[in-house]
Amino acid sequence: MSETVLLVGGGGREHAIARALADSDAELYACAGNRNPGIAGLADGFETLDTSNPAAVTSYADEIDATLAVIGPEGPLAAGVGDALDDAGIYAFGPNESEARIETDKAFQRRFMQSNDIPGCPDFETFEDVEAACDYVDEYDGDLAVKPAGLTGGKGVRVIGDQVTPEEAKEYIRESGHDRIVLEERLVGEEFTVQALVANGQVRVTPAVQDHKRAYEGDEGPNTGGMGSYSDATLELPFMSREDYMEAVDVLEATVDALDGYKGVLYGQFMLTAEGVKVVEFNARFGDPEAMNTLPVLNTDFLDVLTAARDGEDLPKLSFAPKATVCKYAVPEGYPVDPSAGTKLAINPDNAGDALLFYASVDDREDGIYTTTSRAFAVVGIADTITEAEEIAEDALAVAGDDGLDMRHDIGKPELIQQRIDHVAELR
């Protein structure tokens, strides 16, 4: 039976998913609020629509006779698009709205971990009263992370002792407008991500990735949606042991067991601390940029994973090429605080050299592709070592130039990775 797959979403993550499906025996269609030229070039059809409108997505899925759907971003998951597709008889690889709360509601996430004895849960409290939260900041013995309970696009967290003072944290709580706040112990260590493909009670894990959310080199500046990331030729990262990696996998498996019936991607953001692996957060979908590190080195046909999930079969074991990857994002100048739009991009798939090019939020006009106010594109180098992969990605950025664009050149550099190794050694 020929499969018709609907991809929901139009960012860099979805471009990576489209690329993973493009060589499979399937017709690929996509829908998004923005026309991603990379996805459109791979798909048999592309529709611009509001992907947080379940009726609109389901209508398009019916129109193309979709037999499967993959939901990329968190917005449609939170809006119940997965529920609507499933109700229409179209299997959606993505959790339903209630299961997606593991990402979309951080207060629920922490209480769920606590009530189900999920390992790696930090000390936390949740608040609906602003002044009670501020009092807790004053009373807590140690530094705290301040997290709005809802979705913030990776830009809502403020960490006392790193980004803000206690007084600034209280000011943020009072002025942010968020009606629910999670306050939790500040985790000190090295962050990493492990993503899992989940269905039928089974968990298939991918290599660890380290994302860089801070806007400026040296991990300075405000948080962003992610400025780049890297993975190694092994499952773990250079600063980790295989035991550290497996500790994170144990957390994912325990979470899936407790969720009971979860399907889609479960993304675990972890902190390797002096006390072991702790959970920073869960996401209910592929990471962006982490999808661009893992999917290009996936040897297993992603379509086989989707069909097995839908048909209630055992998920295939995942095989990955033993290659390192480095992903670097180019963003509009001033991002994320005061981004400027309208820069015409000089890079395209034909002049990116050996790097893979993934478009994110761009304006595809008749005379070229231009930046918006969000992340523009990512380049990914793939090689035997992180150093070689970084050089490939950096060469591609050189083609793009930096006129009207910001980027972090230090991601994947040997000196930055050595800092991570030294940091973990100090913790231990």
| CATH number (domain holding residue 62) | 3.40.50.20
Instruction: Please give the pLDDT value at position 87.
Output: 98
Tokens of 254: 């325990």
Do both 168 and 217 map to the same domain? no
| CATH number (domain holding residue 170) | 3.30.1490.20
134 falls within a domain: yes
Do both 178 and 194 map to the same domain? no
| CATH number (domain holding residue 281) | 3.30.470.20
Q: Strand order in 202-205's β-sheet? A: 202-205, 190-199, 264-273, 276-283
Domain end marker among 167, 185, 203? 185
Number of H helices, E strands in the chain: 14, 23
**Among 2, 39, 80, 141, which residue's Cα sits nearest to residue 360?**
39
b/e map 387-399, b = 16+ CB within 10 Å: ebbbbbbbebbee
**Among 95, 100, 96, 93, which residue's Cα sits nearest to residue 5?**
93
Do both 392 and 299 map to the same domain? yes
| Rounded Cα gap, residues 299 and 199, in angstroms | 19
Do both 10 and 49 map to the same domain? yes
| Rounded Cα gap, residues 288 and 242, in angstroms | 24
Q: How many domains does the chain have?
A: 3
List per-block mean pLDDT (blocks of 10 residues) for the chain, which spans 428 residues.
93 98 94 97 98 98 98 96 98 97 95 97 94 94 91 80 91 89 95 98 98 95 94 98 98 97 98 97 97 98 98 98 98 96 96 98 96 98 98 97 96 97 95
Element (DSSP H or E) covering residue 418: helix 414-427
180 falls within a domain: yes
Instruction: Please give the pLDDT value at position 59.
Output: 98
Q: Strand order in 3-8's β-sheet? A: 45-48, 26-32, 3-8, 68-71, 91-93
Instruction: Please give the pLDDT value at position 2.
Output: 87
102 falls within a domain: no
Do both 142 and 59 map to the same domain? no
Do both 181 and 194 map to the same domain? no
What domain range is 29 assigned to?
3-96
112 falls within a domain: no
Backbone angles phi, psi at 262, to 5 degrees: -60, 145
276 falls within a domain: yes
Do both 200 and 181 map to the same domain? no
- Give the distance, in angstroms, between the CA of residue 174 and the centroid of all CA atoms in the same chain: 28
Do both 90 and 139 map to the same domain? no
Do both 397 and 355 map to the same domain? yes
Q: Between vectors from CA 243 to CA 227 and to CA 106, what angle results, nearest 5°?
A: 50
Close Cβ partners of 362 (under 8 Å, ≥ 6 residues apart) = 34, 36, 37, 345, 369, 370, 371, 372, 376, 377
Distances (CA, A) of 203 to 138, 270, 299, 326, 409: 41, 17, 17, 25, 34
| Rounded Cα gap, residues 163 and 171, in angstroms | 13
135 falls within a domain: yes
Q: Is 165 exposed, middle or buried (0-12, 13-18, 19+ CB in 10 A)?
A: exposed
| Rounded Cα gap, residues 148 and 178, in angstroms | 6
| Rounded Cα gap, residues 226 and 166, in angstroms | 25
Instruction: Please give the pLDDT value at position 1.
Output: 65
Instruction: Please give the pLDDT value at position 150.
Output: 83
- How many C-beta atoms lie closer than 10 Å to residue 53's C-beta? 15
Do both 266 and 400 map to the same domain? yes
301 falls within a domain: yes
Do both 235 and 289 map to the same domain? yes
Do both 340 and 206 map to the same domain? yes
DSSP 216-269: ETTTEEEE-S-SEEEE-SSSS-TT--HHHHHHHHHHHHHHHHHHSS--EEEEEE
Side chain identity at 428, as an amino acid letter? Answer: R
Enter the pTM of the model.
0.96
107 falls within a domain: no
DSSP 171-230: HHHHHS--S-EEEEEPP-SEEEEEEEEEETTEEEE---BEE--EEETTTEEEE-S-SEEE
